[in-house]
Amino acid sequence: METLRTALQPITHNLPAPIRDLGVSIIGDKCYKSILLDVNLEDSECLKYAISKGLGIGIVGASAIVKVPQILKLINSKSSDGVSFLAYLLETSSYLISLAYNVRNGFPFSTYGETAMVLGQNVIITVLVLNYSGRAGMAALFVAVLAASAVSLFGEGILDAKELGWLQVGSGVLGVASKVPQIAAIWSQGGTGQLSAFTVFNYLIGSLTRIFTTLQEVDDKLILYGFVAGFALNLILATQMIYYWNAPSAKAKGKRKEKVSVPASSQKLEVPSAGASSSAAPRPRSKGPTTRRRG
C-alpha cells in the first residue's frame, strides 16, 4: 500500500484545478483528501461513497442513449410489434412522479438523473407505438395529459410534500406494474418482436446499480424498495429475452403459415381450352390411298 501511495501522490497532488474542483464537487472535501490526496484506500466509507458517485454518474450518462436502439427499431420497422403501450404508459407515469419527488426533496442528481433522461425517451417511444398502431389522435392526447401532470407535480402550490410522498408510493407500484404487460406481451406472442435487447439488459444492470447507490446516498425506503422490485422484474424480462432470442413473433408465425399452407380446393387443375384441345389433339392415322371405281 505504501508503494502505491508513493507512486500516486505526485500525480494526485498536481492535478489541474478544473479536475480537482470537479472531484471535490462530486465526492466532497473530506473524501477527496482521503482517497486522492492521502491515497487512503482503507477508508471504506469514502471508498464506497466514491464508487457510488461514479456508478451514479455512469448510469446518468448511459441513460441518455439507453432507449435510442428501441426508438431506432421502431422507426426502421414502422411496427410496434412486441412493444406494450400499457407498459410504457405506466413506466412513463412512474418516472414523472419519481422525478418530481427527487427534485422537490433535493436529492443528489447523480442518484436520479437517469429518470429525466429515460422519461424523455419514453415519451418518444410511446408516441411511436401509438402512431404505428393506428392511434395518432391518442398520441396527441397522451402528450397533453403528460404536460398537465408535470405542471401539477412540480408546482409546490398544487401538491404538498405529504401528498407527493403518497404519490411516490404509487409510483413504485406503477414502476413494478409497468413490467407486467411487457412480460405478458412477450409470453403471449412467443417472441420479443421489436423489443430492444440493449434496453432490457441495460435496465437490468441499472436497477441493480441503483440499489447500491440508493443504500449509500439516499435514506429513503420508498425509493429503495422500488428499485429492488424493478430489478426482480427486469430479471424476468432479461430471461425472456434470452429464451426467445431467435424466436419469431406470433404475427410472423401467422404470415409464414399463410404462405406454406395453401388449401387443396384453391389449387385449380388446368383444363385446356377448346381451341387448344383441337390443335393439340392427335391427328387420325391415314389409311393409305383410296381407290375410286371407274364407271
pLDDT, tens only, 41-100: 888 899 999 998 888 888 888 888 888 988 998 999 888 887 888 888 988 999 999 999
Distance, in Å, from the CA atom of 32 to the CA atom of 25, rounded to the nearest integer, reads 9
Q: What is the pLDDT of residue 278?
A: 43
- 42-46, 97-101, 161-165, 283-287: which is most confident: 97-101
Mean per-residue pLDDT of the chain: 80
Given this model, what pLDDT does residue 289 score? 47
Burial class (CB in 10 A: 0-12, 13-18, 19+), 97: buried
Judged against a pLDDT cut of 60, whether residue 241 lies above it is answered with yes
Contacts of residue 233, defined as CB under 8 A and 6 or more positions apart, other chains included, come to 176, 179, 180, 183
- Which pLDDT score is estimated for 124? 95
**What is the average per-residue pLDDT within 110-121?**
89
Q: 115 burial class (0-12, 13-18, 19+ CB within 10 angstroms)?
A: buried
User: Burial of 229 by CB count in 10 Å (0-12 exposed, 13-18 middle, 19+ buried)?
Assistant: middle
**What is the average pLDDT across 180-201?**
81
92 CB contacts (<8 Å, ≥6 apart)? Answer: 119, 122, 123, 126, 146
Using CA atoms, how far apart are residues 275 and 72, in angstroms rounded to an integer?
58
What value does the CA radius of gyration of the chain take, rounded to a whole number of Å? 33
What are the extents of the domains in the chain? 2-42, 65-249
In 155-194, which positions are buried (b, 16+ CB within 10 angstroms) versus exposed (e)? eeeebeeeebeebbeebbebbbbbbebbbebbeebebbbb
> Helix 221-243 to helix 161-177 angle, to the nearest 10 degrees?
20
- Can you give the pTM of this predicted structure? 0.65
Percent pLDDT > 90 in the chain is 18
C-beta of residue 67 within 8 angstroms of C-beta of residue 122: yes
3-state DSSP assignment of residue 249: coil
| Residue 251 near residue 189, CB atoms below 8 Å | yes
In this structure, what C-alpha cell is assigned to residue 195? 423489443
Residues 249-279: tens digit of each pLDDT: 555 555 555 555 545 444 444 445 444 444 4
pLDDT tier for residue 160 given thresholds of 50, 70 and 90: confident
Measure the CA–CA gap between 74 and 70, rounded to whole angstroms: 6
Instruction: Output the CA torsion sign for 226, 239, 184, 136.
Output: positive
List the grid coordinates of 50.
Answer: 466514491
